[in-house]
Chains A and B, each alone.
Chain A
């Protein structure tokens, strides 16, 4: 009962914080409007026109289909990178020697431009979902890996000793002491990785003509339909925000209730 009340209050606060997000977006829209008024509709349609265009798109079932395609590709890439990166990062975090060996490869992966990956993957996998998903995964794998390995390597060893002194076995220590500390580091990075996955997926779709939002953007470009292009961008950002605030942030706040407790009133997010 008590915890239910707490949860409701936390959810309420979370929703309430949407207002500040809306305020931020309004400021952005205001700047957008200013630029629109300076350069005209052909270069930059007004926010309202874009919204109307987006609304028109959403009236069509095929647009939802495209959004779903891109989102599911980005999400599967993200999930793939999340699982591989976290597991590999944990292993490397425990073994500094492995971390040393893997670090140059991570730098390499970060250094290769996504365009190059797309070209290679198109040759290997053709121009289908596999290319898009893999591009998204490759783009966010290094950051997830670094986050997880950092999280493990920077864990508080004093807590480990404490658990050991209570007679906890290795597995229980890992699950109850180390993983929470690792997730602490990893979550902000997962948010970033998710954004990267979406960006990479849309780009791969555009370049590989693989359907989804990317291809819709390509079509808008060839029609010089700026309002439509902006509407698609708006929709893909909305899809990203929906995943982030519907999936990642709730999980995070569930795991980090203690952080919330540490913040005084008024500074809460």
Chain B
């Protein structure tokens, strides 16, 4: 049984085709990393999967109860404190006490300090905003998590820390997730499977299973896998090209 099944997805913005015949299945308890060059339609695919955009073609079948999305931008309510922003993801029925505990737990997981919780988004740094958005995603009782390049505003140490949280949250088989990233090391570290979107959105170019389960892989193994993917595997040529374009 798949938690999420996208089949034959096609989408166009103002007549310009962005996605065409894209199919992607994500199993129960599976965390899939989606990579592809900038502008190839990854975010669009995620929005379609999360039901925020109606696809022109194809079908989306979700067999989980509730999902949460960590967007590419923080998308915080400017008039609410970090605490309220995180709390808005919680189900209504919770008591005040439960609510407080869950917000604190999610904030702690996202390495936010308690004193920062009473600040408004304008008073937070870029990375803190992003972490607040991540905490909001974690606080919800979602059994499917969507991440759209959530760690791009964080420093390497914090990035690792957040990756570990994602692994603990979704990589351990309890929840499923779709994780968009540009960073191959990140993809190999956290995901069961890495899927490459064709650079013009014409379907999925291919996919690779990463050995072992997330959390069991050591740095050496991750490094070697990334090297193998980037150097020898034709599937990741575009991703490599992108990296060259970026540094150039």
Contacts and interface: CB of A to CB of B under 8 A. Distances in A.
Interface of A: 158-159, 161-167, 176-177, 180, 184, 255-258, 261-262
A165 B146 CA distance: 10
A257 B120 CA distance: 9
Nearest to A260: B120
Nearest to A167: B66
Interface of B: 47, 50-52, 66-69, 71, 73, 75, 77-81, 88-89, 119-123, 136, 140, 146
A180 B79 contact: yes
B73 to A, nearest CB: 7
State the majority secondary structure of interface residues on B: loop
10 contacts: A158-B71, A162-B69, A164-B51, A164-B52, A165-B50, A167-B66, A257-B79, A258-B81, A258-B120, A261-B123
B94 to A, nearest CB: 14
Contacts of B66: 167
A162 B137 CA distance: 10
A64 B77 CA distance: 45
A163 B136 CA distance: 11
B89 A177 contact: no
B85 to A, nearest CB: 10
Nearest to A161: B52
Contacts of A165: 50-52, 67-69, 146
A158 B78 contact: no
Given A165-B146, A176-B88, A261-B120, 4 more contacts: A165-B50, A261-B122, A262-B120, A262-B123
Contacts of A258: 78-81, 120-122
Contacts of B81: 258
Contact of B73 (A158, A166, A177): A158
**Max chain A Cβ within 10 angstroms of own Cβ: one of B50, B78, B81:** B78
Contacts of B67: 165
A158 B66 CA distance: 20
A262 B78 CA distance: 10
B77 A177 contact: yes
Nearest to B77: A159
Contacts of A180: 77, 79
Contacts of B73: 158
Contacts of A164: 51-52
A252 B2 CA distance: 50
A256 B79 contact: yes
A158 B79 contact: no
Contacts of B68: 165-166
B52 A166 contact: no
A5 to B, nearest CB: 12
Contacts of B123: 261-262
B80 A159 contact: no
B92 to A, nearest CB: 8
B79 A166 contact: no
A147 to B, nearest CB: 18
Given A261-B119, A261-B123, A262-B120, A166 B140 contact: yes
A45 B236 CA distance: 85
A158 B51 CA distance: 14
A164 B140 CA distance: 13
B75 A159 contact: yes
Contacts of A184: 79
A261 B78 CA distance: 11
A255 B77 CA distance: 13
B203 to A, nearest CB: 25
A159 B71 CA distance: 11
A262 B81 CA distance: 12
B28 to A, nearest CB: 20
Contacts of B75: 158-159, 161-162
Contacts of B80: 258
Nearest to A183: B79
Nearest to B72: A158
